[in-house]
A = this chain, B = another copy of it.
Amino acid sequence: MLKLIIFLMCFGVIFANNFWIVKPGPKYPPTKGEVWPKPQYQTKEKTFYIFNPLQFKIMSTYQTCDILTNAVERYFYILTSQIGGRIRKRKERAHRRHVSQGLNKGYINNLEIALMEPCEDYPHLNMDESYNLTVSATSTLSSPSIWGVIRGLETFSQLFYLSDDRNEIRINSTQIYDFPRYKHRGLLLDTSRHFISVTNILKTLDAMAMNKMNVFHWHIVDDQSFPYKSEKFPELSNVGAYDLSMVYTKEDIKKIIEFATNRGIRVIPEFDVPGHTASWGSSHPDLLTECYEGNKVVGLGPMNPTKNRTYILLRELFQEIQTWFPDRYFHIGGDEVGLDCWRSNPEIKEYMKNNTLTVAGLHALFMRRVIPLLTNNSKLIVWQEVFDEGVKLANDTLIQVWKYNWITEMINILIAGREVIFSSTWYLSEMSSEWPDFYLPDPRKMVYGITLNKNLLPGIVGGEACMWGEMVDDRNVINRVWPRASAVAERLWSTLDDKMNFKLEIPTETYSRIEEQTCRMIRRGVDAQPPSGPGFCNV
């Protein structure tokens, strides 16, 4: 049946009352000047202003700082070159008609930015991203925080649209008050299964900013390759990277963090331990556990938790990483540890016996010894297994839920007083899922549906779309992430329409709005894929 539906879809049949009626043109024509993710409060009038790239100015009053100057320059360029560049050439529009004279309120001249408080240097979990925006001849954008200003500039740029006759760029009289529903809105990118170039990481950050996402979770190393080029342990990537050219240097990382900071995006590195570490073993096999079958060593498994050398290397390495990555949060993984390998190893068996430990207890012991290796006032993110196996964790540790028991898992974590990042239904690596599959689930709504307990909900601080790297490389990663991650971005930012639940359909307006968002990303250099069917971007 599913296959039949896919086939019918493939042949472009539209399921109307009379399904034999088809119509020419795009399935969902893009909206014009609608914002993605949808702002919390927005009123929009029919009257509009005309945009003239030559006379438009952005001015900032009150506070300023490098991040603000950089953002103003960036959006001035987007507005004047990329958006302004879309109008027809002067010659073509000689016979311009003024059909909507009554709604036309003249030119938009300025955007005045009022940043009310001094800039912060780096974005953080509790940053303020709220802003107020009023569009008129002299428009104003105000926020207590540089991060709010950046979000507001993005919104402002998205309100412009090309008139139907393609003769002018317009922006409607609009009032917006906006802020995010969740404070942690992330994208995980895996650069170990396939190497992703710095260029495409920067492009990804740019697209994240267009979708108001604020955490780049960099799953930098894993079993397959170790592209982090350490200064203290160069052998890790010399031997463990796919190729000497497929590495991230200190300078690359600095560039990525600076680019992200300018867009209000945090960069959180993940160095997953003690599992997912085969590539560490390429240069340091003695870090890993020898797995046995009977009396025979049959391969290498997770890190060996009984050896001091493991912790010595981790301490040195983590210290280096933490001087390169300014975010206070550090993701130490902890998922899918090959406990059976530990179980098979005679030395470890002996160790467990002597210390009356189970393998889960051994995992807990490992984590307990690793956590203090991080610098003071570090905060942790871990995969759910670390919670499940009873490791004692600091109160501010975030638990990332990714498995299929997500609702009970979230409830357990919340009842234990911990905070949750949700990812289970947001695996972009599930290639057959399209954006509507990612759009519907909301972690707070799911937990509330079961518990009817509103007090638990603030403990869900956000979520992350995860693009594991098995089936994406530098050539298709942008296409496979966007616009599917945009669905997660809107779910995490915007108020949830109570009428929309798992059984109901997503409104047609949303289909049309993600078409516009896709065309917008393409126009700004992000090669997003078609979201929902036949169509085109007339740029």
Contacts and interface: CB of A to CB of B under 8 A. Distances in A.
22 contacts: A3-B404, A6-B430, A7-B402, A7-B403, A10-B429, A11-B276, A11-B336, A17-B293, A18-B293, A20-B291, A21-B298, A22-B223, A23-B299, A24-B224, A24-B226, A192-B534, A242-B538, A470-B530, A470-B534, A471-B530, A471-B533, A476-B476
Contacts of A193: 12, 533-534
Nearest to A282: B24
A136 interface: no
Contact of A479 (B23, B301, B302, B479): B479
A21 B536 CA distance: 47
A168 interface: no
Interface stretch (A113-121, A203-211, A337-345): A337-345
A278 B3 contact: no
Given A24-B281, A475-B529, A470 B18 contact: no
Contacts of A222: 12
A26 B194 CA distance: 9
Contact of A224 (B281, B291, B473, B534): B534
Contacts of A468: 10-11
Given A534-B194, A536-B194, A300 B470 contact: no
A278 B26 CA distance: 12
Interface in A1-30: 3-4, 6-7, 9-13, 16-18, 20-27
Given A282-B24, A338-B20, A538-B243, A431 B432 contact: yes
Contact of A279 (B20, B24, B529): B24
A522 B111 CA distance: 46
A522 B474 CA distance: 11
A386 interface: no
Contacts of A300: 21, 23
A536 B18 CA distance: 49
Contact of A276 (B12, B224, B335): B12
- Looking at A16, A402, A430, A530, the one whose CB has the most chain B CB atoms below 10 A away is A530
Contacts of A281: 24
A338 B282 contact: no
B13 A336 contact: yes
Contact of A25 (B225, B429, B470): B225
A459 interface: no
A11 B270 CA distance: 14
Contact of A530 (B13, B23, B472): B472
A401 interface: no
A443 interface: no
A148 interface: no
Contacts of A336: 11, 13
A228 B276 CA distance: 52
Contact of A469 (B223, B432, B534): B534
Contacts of A522: 475
Contact of A291 (B21, B26, B278, B527): B21
Contacts of A243: 536, 538
B11 A335 contact: yes
